[in-house]
Structures are given as structure tokens and as C-alpha cells.
Amino acid sequence: MAWPAAAVAQQPTIGYLDPRSPGTAPGFVSSWRVGLREAGYVEGQNLAVEYRWTEGHPDNMKAMAADLARRPLAAIIAAGNLAAATVKAATSTIPIIFIVGVDPVAFGLVDGLNRSAGNATGVTTFSSEMVAKRLELLREMVPGAAVAAALTNPNNPNTKSDTHHVEAAARALAMQIHVLSASDDRDLDVAFATAKDRLVAAMSVHSDQFFDTRRRQIAALAERYGIPTIFNNREFVVAGGLMSYGENRSDTYRLAGGYAGRVLRGEKPGDLPVLQPTNFELAINLRTAKTLGVTVPQSILIRADEVIE
């Protein structure tokens, strides 16, 4: 009777830090669990997980990272730019598996993409070029759109690069672009009202974890103001957004879980190259298109990986 209890006590424990709430990230958690399972680790059987969620309150991030760093953890999975940077500052010894949307070298997480002398590795979805691709798809969806907007978070380290790419894409498409900023709920309301005042015919919402926590709110604002909008991931489309194009997030989190499993088996983070996703998906919400009075071109429908009716 004592043997199972002893076995459980000796099982490794990893930490997981996420700026969202459990309700907004269940698919992501299940995805990195798949990666862990492929490496031979199952939560509740031969692995324990210490979860920390900031519930959209980034001020709590530092204390949560410090708390995890004090524990005897075998690894920490850090979801997002701020989580990765905060955990990196909190520990130089516990292996860190990050999931970020920035260049991890420029962001100071690693000193090289192929090999790093530090305690971190993971997956980066950094690709400002995707911003241009989304604007091209948006123009294809709304061919008469001469004026567009890009919604950014000024606190996101990608904003400068994303803005540069979206402005260049707008010039190439002969479109006028308004760059709008939002970092809290009031800003979101103001941004959409401003877009309407400036006769914006279409909007691209850039990748940002604050926006992830406000998916339904942003989708509702786009519908309220009648602005066709493209997002970076399908969860916005499920929440009522018109369309999305970006990396397959389930695959991205699965890769991170797989790396956590490899670290648990004894590999060093510095020996594991930073990964980039190669699986991208286009999603369309036909109900939202009908509500907005948008006719989805056949050229987009046949390329869509997911169509919500």
C-alpha cells in the first residue's frame, strides 16, 4: 500500500505560467499535454504540474514566476512573451520551455536559435511577414476596401515590427492604413469608434495576448461597428470573428510539450534548437460574414482549413 504513494511523491513536477485564465486556454493546455504524452509523461500518472494563471492581470506575473522559481521544478513552460521574460529573470537554473511571438534572440531569451548556453528554449511564432499576408487576405475578402486599420497593443514588443510590415503591405495594395492602439478595455471601445469615424472598411487585429483574453469583446465590437476583421488565430473566429490566418496553435503548444518531455528525460535546453511552426490555417465564420453583409469569395472558401457555418 505504501509503494504507490512513494512513487507519486518521486514523480517530477513542472510549472506552467500563463497570462490568461484557464477558461481561455483549455485547448492550449490539452495540446502541450499531447506533446508530453508523446514523450512518455502523463499528468496525474507520472507527472505533476504547478499552474499559475494571471487571469489577465500582468502585475501578478513577477510574483508568480518567483514562486515557481523557488520550487523544486524539473522545468517551467512559459506561455507568451511576458511570461517567458519574467521566468527567465526569475531563474537561471530551472529549464524553461517558452512559447513566444518574438525573436527570442533579440528578446534576450537565448543567445542563438540553434544552440544556447542558457537554460531556455522553446517555440517562437515570430513572423511579422504574417501581418502582410493577413492584410492581403482581408483585401481579397473585402475587395473594395480602400481604408483599413491595424489594431496593435503598444506594450507588445512586436508592435514596431508589425506596424512596419503592415504599412508596407498597405502601400503595396494601394490602401490607406490607420494604426490604432489598445491595451485595456476602454482603449478597445475607443479604437473601434475611431475606426468607424475614419471610415475604415476593414481591420487587422495583430497578435497579442491581451487581445486573446478579449476575443468575444473584440469580435462583438467588430460586428457592432460593421467592420470586417481578420485575426491571427481561429479562436477569434470561433468567438464570432470574421476570419483568421496564422499558425496552428495546437501544433505549436504540442511542440512545446514535446520539448518539456525531452528535458524531463535529461536533455539540456541549450542543446535543443528553438522551433518555428510550419503548419498554418485559414478559418472563416460564415454567420459573421452574413451579418456584416460580406460575400466570401470562392477563392478564399476553397483555401479555408475551417469554415464555421
Question: Residue 130: its pLDDT value, please?
Answer: 86
User: Which range among 23-27, 92-96, 150-154, 234-238 shows the weakest confidence by mean pLDDT?
Assistant: 23-27
Q: How confident is the model at residue 61 (pLDDT cuts 50, 70, 90)?
A: very high
The full set of domain ranges for the chain reads 2-126+248-280, 129-246+281-308
The proportion of the chain whose per-residue pLDDT surpasses 90, expressed as a percent, equals 76
In this structure, what C-alpha cell is assigned to residue 128? 511579422
pTM over 0.75: yes
pLDDT surpasses 60 at 2: no
In this structure, what C-alpha cell is assigned to residue 118? 542558457
Q: How confident is the model at residue 124 (pLDDT cuts 50, 70, 90)?
A: very high
Q: In sequence order, which ranges of the chain are alpha helices (DSSP H)?
A: 2-9, 26-38, 61-69, 81-90, 129-141, 159-172, 185-197, 209-212, 215-224, 234-238, 249-264, 286-292, 298-301
Question: Residue 26: its pLDDT value, please?
Answer: 67
Q: How confident is the model at residue 5 (pLDDT cuts 50, 70, 90)?
A: very low
pLDDT surpasses 80 at 238: yes
DSSP category for residue 231: E
In this structure, what C-alpha cell is assigned to residue 106? 533579440
Question: Residue 303: its pLDDT value, please?
Answer: 95
Pick the most confident of 19-33, 35-49, 100-114, 119-133. Answer: 35-49
Measured CA angle at 49 (ends 52, 278), to 5 deg: 85
The verdict on domain 2-126+248-280 having CATH code 3.40.50.2300 is yes
pLDDT surpasses 90 at 272: yes
Q: Is the distance from CB of 140 to CB of 299 less than 8 angstroms?
A: yes
Tell me which CATH homologous superfamily contains domain 129-246+281-308: Response regulator (3.40.50.2300)
- CB atoms < 10 A from the CB of 142, how many? 20
Euclidean distance between CA atoms 162 and 167, whole angstroms: 9
Question: Residue 106: its pLDDT value, please?
Answer: 87
Question: Residue 161: its pLDDT value, please?
Answer: 85
Question: Looking at per-residue confidence, does 106 or 227 come out higher?
Answer: 227
Cell 501581418 appears where? 131
The proportion of the chain whose per-residue pLDDT surpasses 70, expressed as a percent, equals 96
pLDDT surpasses 50 at 8: no
Euclidean distance between CA atoms 168 and 152, whole angstroms: 16
The DSSP result for 117-160, as a single string, is: SSSEEEEE---THHHHHHHHHHHHHSTT--EEEEEE-TTSTTHH
Euclidean distance between CA atoms 160 and 152, whole angstroms: 9
State the chain's mean pLDDT as an integer. Answer: 92
Question: Residue 103: its pLDDT value, please?
Answer: 87
Question: Residue 6: its pLDDT value, please?
Answer: 40
| 14-47 residue pLDDT tens | 999 998 888 776 678 899 999 999 999 999 999 9
* Of 47, 54, 132, 128, nearest in space to 87 by CA: 54
| Average pLDDT over every residue of 95-119 | 91
Rg (CA), the chain: 20
Question: Residue 1: its pLDDT value, please?
Answer: 36
| Average pLDDT over every residue of 283-297 | 97
| Average pLDDT over every residue of 265-270 | 95
Q: Is the distance from CB of 245 to CB of 293 less than 8 angstroms?
A: no
Q: Is the distance from CB of 118 to CB of 107 less than 8 angstroms?
A: no
Question: Residue 249: its pLDDT value, please?
Answer: 86
| Average pLDDT over every residue of 185-209 | 95
